Amino acid sequence: MNHCRKNYSPSIPMKVVAFLIFLVLQLQSAGLRAQEEKQADIKLTFAQTDSTRTCKATVTSNNISVKEIEVHFYVQSMYALLPIGDAVATDSAGEALAEFPMDLPGDKNDNYVAVVKIEEDDTYGTVESKGNVKWGVSVKENENEVWGSRSLSASREKAPMYLIVVSNLIIGVIWGTIFYVIFQIFRIKKESRLLKK
Amino acid sequence: MIEENENTDRRKFLKFGLLAGGVTLATGLGLKSGILGKDSESTGKKVKLLTADGQLVEVDSSHIKHHIAESKITALQAREGIEGKKFVMVIDLARCANARKCVEGCQTMHHKQPPVEWIKVKKMQDAVSLAPYWMPQPCYHCDNPPCTKVCPVDATFKRKDGIVLIDNERCIGCRFCMAACPYNARSFNWGENWGTAIDTAKTDKTDACCSTYSPETSTPGKMGTVEKCDFCPDMARKGELPDCVTACPNGTIYFGDANEDIVTNGDETVRLSELIKKRSGYRYLEELGTEPRVYYLPPVNRQFPFEEDTEIHNTSES
Amino acid sequence: MNDTNIHAGAEHQSSLSALEQQEYRQEMRNVVLHPLRHTGTLARVWIAILAIIFLFGCYAYYIQLRDGLKVTALRDYASWGLYISNFVFFVAISLVGALISSILRLTNFEWHRPLTRIAEIIAVAGIVFAGLIIVVDMGRPERVLFLFTHGRIQSPIMWDVIVVSTYLVTSVLFLYIPLLPAIALCRDVLTEKPKWQRWMYKFLAMGWDGNEKQWQIMKKSTAILSVLVIPLAISIHTVTAWLFATTLRPGWDSTNFGPYFVAGAFQAGTACVIIAMFIFRKAYSFEKYITELHFNQMGKLLVLLCVVYAYFNVNEYLIPAYKMRGPEAKLLNDLFTGPMSPIYWSVQIFGMAIPAFVLLFKRARRPIPLTIIALFVVVGAWFKRYLIVTPILLHPYLPIQNVPANWATYFPSWVEMAIVAASLSGVLLIITIFSKFFPMISIWETLEGEGIDLEKMDKKK
């Protein structure tokens, strides 16, 4: 017996189930596609006037500006990200501005890294963009100078000069005298008539 | 015909069942990985944490990392310090609730056990009429250290990055630095494996910590030498915070680089100068002129009232 | 013996005839050399006891080396204890060498002459054991050479090491050089002694034969050392005081410490010399040379030093007590009325105030009463050094919390007591053994003070 029907046509419940399955699969891949495809880019521009420093973040997705999306501004530090201000929502042009402090220190080249993030957005997920900017204020104190200078707390090569001079002087004079006296003992021996015999 | 229909029905049902099951499974997996991200190892142990806005949450204890001390640097590097950094700590006395997790974290990392503590949490009450508060006291790594001044053999030294370390290959055990420190920050190794958790020291995964000594790890300790809190410079070289900072459930301890003017307690990151200014930070016994590198934020607007300790700690020597 | 004018200089001529002078010289030599020739039972028992105590202390030190400093009662708070206070005590008594041999000599107090050797050997023995006890206190004594290879000149311990070793060398020289005529005497006269001992005298005598040139050199060297040793002696105890005064602790953070310690050192050392005087006088029959006059003079000196020390104590304790500044208040209350008060008041009253008062009376300056009072002073001085070291460490700025009970107190363990007893017996051993090999009275100095002619040494017996 031929088990295959010539005209195979699914029954209605079967069609409903199939459609449901299709829908679920579509949603899932849409979700995946959302993570892969709906990509946002953040471009950073820095502007500085006499008294203000602003960082502008432009959020685009496939070259279309993204409006009303929250971006967070940070400065990168050794252990963590320092938040700059509160989260700012992009305007109609997809731009968000944040004012950076005028007195934030930078590295030895006066640079620091500004980081702008979209955090756990429903559509775009987490997006991050970094930019090096030479806005760092020089650290006033040169630590190496303090560390390298002579002091009572420093290591033995960096003892204060006055201490080295005075102590060596005193030790020199006193031990010089001691050696002189020891030498006198041998002079006594030399002067001995007993031993000459 | 009827037979065929029956078969078809059964087939349909099976197909439906399998498909439905498969789809559910696929969807479930897909959703989970899509939304939650990668699965992390969980230990099952829960730890309570205080977030920045005063909420108590429970987190798996694997998220509170206990680091292992390791260091492979030269002796000169150990004496000079990490270039360009100037480590500083801020302790928020308004948050300290005597959880003593900082003490435990430090002891775990350096394989120490009670009664030896390199960071101590003390109940301070400056006078009977004044309010009591809990005060964690690590070594302050003073900028005008009374301890390095008096060491006769250069065993304890101040580095460029502000950290004061001890080289226990050089220490002669005269304990002058212990007499000179007005904060009692230093401990002494009175015997072999004094205050050392030998079991954990032996089973530690990285053997480096306990076979290659460096002043930066302060581990293993040596009998007849001095030791103390070292601000974990070996962790700093890896970009990680000291254990006391991350172990505190209340975020009491902030740590960072004063050159960057930024400190963090693992959750919150703030500007050091702003924090001190806003919260009236001060240094303990400032009038002694030691210039500590640990600031305290006074216990005002406390997040919870002061509570006495429920148990007595460190009653015995072993 | 005629009542010598105590302020006579070497130029003073004795009223004795030449023959009488020779008899006097001979008698003195016999008396002074007698202990070198004969050792009585008492002396042997004394040496045996000291040796046993010393050996037991060595065993205790072996235990400490094996197990670490945990065998002491020291812990993180009382990190300096009996060893350090004993060290301070030894440095203190070793100043007396400079006082008697040098200061009194330069100020022409002639009565010091028979006492110089006793003072000097106490000084040498004291400073030797000061150095040894400090190594005992170290956690890693095998690294003691680091002090010389990696020393930091900024550290007060370095200053102490330098000054103590300099003082040791100077004191040994100051003991040895005026000893030369006596060594020569031993070399010539003690012919019955074993070969090695005779060789030792011959070697150490440096060919001394008493000729004009040698006397000149010897006296000039002694004069130089006299001047040198005074600032050194003052330095050793000032620098030792600075081990405490350079810290920020309440109780040590005092500008008074240097002079306070030096004054205490002179007082304690003088009392030690008095006790030694008494013992040698009795045991070696030195009555003719260490007379009641000498006790009288030493008693007056002790009074003066007690009064000066009392003055410094008043400055050190009354003024902080007037203010009762926070951190010091707890410490002072403990000392005045708290757990430390029995020791504190005993030391101050019996070790300082009563001696200062009682010794004003001539009757108290006779040998026996004076020696008893000197004993009180020495014991008081030893306990005073303990009061200066450990109680301050137990009263830090920060409260002591969350530590085992024994960390918050201090009572020495058997190891510490054994080692300290050994160091004390070691000092006594050095003095006793020295007195068996070398004359304890400087013959030429005493004779010189009498104005008796220092004849050339006899070549024959």
Q: Which has the minimum average pLDDT: A7-21, C38-52, C249-263, C324-338? A: A7-21
Q: What is the pLDDT of residue A146?
A: 78
More confident: A57 or C152: C152
B contact test, residue of A21, A25, A78 with most B CBs within 10 A: A78
Q: What is the pLDDT of residue B100?
A: 95
Q: Mean pLDDT over residues C105-114, rounded?
A: 86
Residue C452 CB neighbour total at 10 angstroms: 21
pLDDT of B142-191, one tens digit each? Answer: 999 999 999 999 999 999 999 999 999 999 999 999 999 999 999 999 99
- Asked if residues B98 and B309 have their Cβ atoms less than 8 Å apart, the reply is yes
End-to-end CA distance of chain A: 146
- Asked if residues C442 and C114 have their Cβ atoms less than 8 Å apart, the reply is yes
Beta bridge partners of B165: B157
pLDDT of C415-436, one tens digit each? Answer: 999 999 999 999 999 999 999 9
B neighbour chains, 3+ CB pairs within 8 Å = A, C
Q: Per-residue confidence at B32, pLDDT binned at 50, 70, 90?
A: very low
More confident: B201 or C16: C16
pLDDT at C258 over 80: yes
When CB atoms are compared, the residue of A24, A108, A156 closest to B154 is A156
**Could you give the 3-state DSSP secondary structure of residue A84?**
strand
Q: Per-residue confidence at B75, pLDDT binned at 50, 70, 90?
A: confident
- Asked if residues B250 and B302 have their Cβ atoms less than 8 Å apart, the reply is no
- For the entire predicted model, the pTM comes to 0.86
Structure-block tokens of residue C367: 């040998």
* 8 Å CB contact of A78 and B27: no
Report yes or no: B153 at the C interface, CB cutoff 8 Å.
yes
Q: Which has the minimum average pLDDT: A125-139, B272-286, C6-20, C346-360? A: C6-20
Q: Which has the minimum average pLDDT: A46-60, C123-137, C198-212, C239-253? A: A46-60
Q: What is the pLDDT of residue C445?
A: 87
* 8 Å CB contact of B183 and C398: yes
Rounded Cα gap, residues B279 and C423, in angstroms: 56
More confident: B307 or B207: B307
* 8 Å CB contact of B255 and A21: no
pLDDT at B232 over 90: yes
Q: What is the pLDDT of residue A31?
A: 59
pLDDT > 70 fraction of chain C, expressed in percent and rounded: 95
Q: What is the pLDDT of residue C1?
A: 36
Q: Mean pLDDT over residues A54-61, rounded?
A: 87
Q: Mean pLDDT over residues C187-202, rounded?
A: 92
When CB atoms are compared, the residue of C150, C153, C173 closest to A182 is C173
When CB atoms are compared, the residue of C154, C173, C214 closest to A188 is C214
Give the neighbor-by-neighbor strand order of the sheet with A125-133.
Answer: A81-89, A70-76, A112-121, A125-133
Q: Per-residue confidence at B23, pLDDT binned at 50, 70, 90?
A: low
* Number of residues that make up chain C: 461
Structure-block tokens of residue C349: 């009253």
**Could you give the 3-state DSSP secondary structure of residue C106?**
helix
Q: Mean pLDDT over residues C134-139, rounded?
A: 96
Q: Which helix (H) or strand (E) holds A30?
A: helix A12-37
Please list the alpha-helical segments (H only) found in C138-194.
Answer: 146-149, 156-176, 180-189
Residues in contact with C70: Cβ distance below 8 Å, sequence separation at least 6, in sequence order: B190, B191, B194
Q: Mean pLDDT over residues B207-228, rounded?
A: 80
Burial of B168 (0-12, 13-18, 19+ CB in 10 A): buried
- Nearest CA-CA distance, residue A41 and chain B, Å: 21
pLDDT at A1 over 90: no
- Nearest CA-CA distance, residue C207 and chain A, Å: 5
Report yes or no: A14 at the B interface, CB cutoff 8 Å.
yes
When CB atoms are compared, the residue of A167, A182, A191 closest to C213 is A191
Q: Mean pLDDT over residues B200-213, rounded?
A: 57
Is the bond preceding residue B115 a cis peptide, omega within 30 degrees? yes
Q: What is the pLDDT of residue C116?
A: 92
Q: What is the pLDDT of residue B34?
A: 38
Q: What is the pLDDT of residue A50?
A: 84
The per-residue pLDDT of chain C, averaged, comes to 91
Residues from chain A contacting residue B81 (CB–CB below 8 Å): 147
Q: Mean pLDDT over residues C187-204, rounded?
A: 92
- Asked if residues B102 and B108 have their Cβ atoms less than 8 Å apart, the reply is no
pLDDT at B68 over 80: no
Q: Mean pLDDT over residues C320-341, rounded?
A: 93
* 8 Å CB contact of A191 and C217: yes
Complete DSSP assignment for C279-332 = HHHHHHT-TTTS-HHHHHHHHHHHHHHHHHHHHHHHHHHHHHHHHT-HHHHHHH
pLDDT at B212 over 80: no
Half-sphere exposure of C28 (CA within 13 A, CB side): 26
Q: Mean pLDDT over residues C80-99, rounded?
A: 94
- Asked if residues B263 and B275 have their Cβ atoms less than 8 Å apart, the reply is yes
Q: What is the pLDDT of residue C253?
A: 92
DSSP 8-state assignment for residue B112: B
Nearest C-alpha neighbor of C128 from the set C424, C427, C379: C427
pLDDT at C94 over 80: yes
Compute the Cα dihedral for C8, C13, C18, C19 and give only its sign.
negative
CA C141 to chain centroid, in Å, comes to: 25
- Asked if residues B181 and C76 have their Cβ atoms less than 8 Å apart, the reply is no
Note the ipTM here: 0.90
pLDDT at B64 over 50: no
The per-residue pLDDT of chain B, averaged, comes to 82
Rounded Cα gap, residues B206 and C58, in angstroms: 42
Q: What is the pLDDT of residue A69?
A: 85
Q: What is the pLDDT of residue C415?
A: 97
pLDDT of B85-137, one tens digit each? Answer: 999 999 999 999 999 999 999 998 888 988 999 999 999 998 899 999 999 99
- Asked if residues C76 and B187 have their Cβ atoms less than 8 Å apart, the reply is yes
Q: Which has the minimum average pLDDT: A187-196, B102-111, C152-161, C321-330? A: A187-196
